[in-house]
Amino acid sequence: MPRMSKGLPIRQKIPNVEKVILVSSGKGGVGKSTVSTNLALSLRNLGLKTGLLDADLFGPSIPKLMNLAGEPRITETGKLIPLVNYGIQTMSMGYLISEENAVVWRGLMVMKALQQLLFEVQWEDLDILVIDMPPGTGDTQLTISQQVKVDGSVIVSTPQDIALLDAVKGITMFNKVNIPILGLVQNMSFFLCPNCNHESHVFGTDGVLREASKHNLEVLGSIPLNEKICTQSDIGKPVAISDPQLAPFYASIAEKVRA
Ligand code: ADP
């Protein structure tokens, strides 16, 4: 555990990692893991040595999204060796434990696992590490924001009111713990009909854009609701590396995150 000074935790640098970016959301199901994965792949496409850490201990999705499975090897000093696909180094609780077992984990065990994922992975000289956070503003988020030196956070939301309200809680939390918010990503923004090209705003219009301007935050990108984003994720070949029409939506976010 990091040392404490005057009751405040000291934020530690993750070994061998230059820059750390958190991807978070107020609630589940808004596309946070999909954004994390496509963002990591787009950063790699920009030529950065990129890692992807799945900090969603109870619902890890990175193994499926990155088409990876199996237990990580351990170094002589007990460090976890990342699993690699598409040029991205990854680590996830999903490699260490089955999902059925994870749900019975309690307090201390969870915190210990989190420490291991944060500080005991043998990353290989990363320019940037994308951390896929669990949804909401619970213990894991607090631990990470207090203990890890973070360069910025990206908040994903749909334009729907309820998802937005939860995202606002995230904005408040990051402001409280002094983590810079790089901006918001509006996911499932609109549906472009493949037959007639009509744009439907299924979850409302531009809710995230309005909220962003209220909080003086940038909108890093608006991603359409598109079947391929879902189906390509399901087969472990995310659109950032498999669909030239959809990849640019994530590439432009990566450009801004890299800046
Ligand atoms: P979260 O991490 O917020 O729980 P996920 O990234 O797991 O959400 O996404 C939830 C579901 O929505 C997944 O099935 C995913 O493939 C799908 N999804 C995410 N973004 C989009 C999108 N823009 N268009 C269509 N489906 C999407």
CATH at 135 = 3.40.50.300
- Per the structure, the complete domain to which residue 127 belongs is given by 12-258
Mean pLDDT, the chain cut into blocks of 10 residues (259 residues total): 55 96 94 98 98 92 96 94 98 83 68 92 98 91 92 93 82 90 92 80 78 89 94 98 96 96
Q: Answer yes or no: is 1 within a domain.
A: no
Pocket of ligand 1 (CB under 6 A): 25, 28-34, 61, 187-188, 223, 225-226, 229-230, 233
pTM of the model as a whole = 0.93
Residue 104 contacts residue 51 (beta carbons within 8 Å): no
Question: Among 259, 228, 241, 233, which residue's Cα sits nearest to residue 64?
Answer: 233
99 found inside a domain: yes
Structural domain contains residue 240 = yes
Note whether residue 138 is domain-resident: yes
Q: What confidence tens digit (pLDDT) does each residue in 76-91 have? A: 999 999 999 999 999 9
CA angle 206, 138, 55 (to 5 degrees): 85
Q: Is residue 6 part of a domain?
A: no
Q: Is residue 207 part of a domain?
A: yes
Closest ligand 1 atom to 227 CA: 25
Per residue in 229-248, pLDDT (tens digit) is 999 999 999 999 999 999 99
Q: Helices marked H in the chain — which ranges?
A: 32-45, 62-65, 93-96, 99-102, 107-119, 139-147, 161-176, 207-214, 227-234, 239-242, 247-258
Identify which of 44, 53, 47, 45 has the alpha carbon closest to the alpha carbon of residue 20.
53
Total domains in the chain come to 1
Q: Is residue 126 included in any domain, yes or no?
A: yes
Note the ipTM here. 0.99
**Residue 155 domain flag:** yes
Nearest CA owner, ligand 1 atom 12 = 31
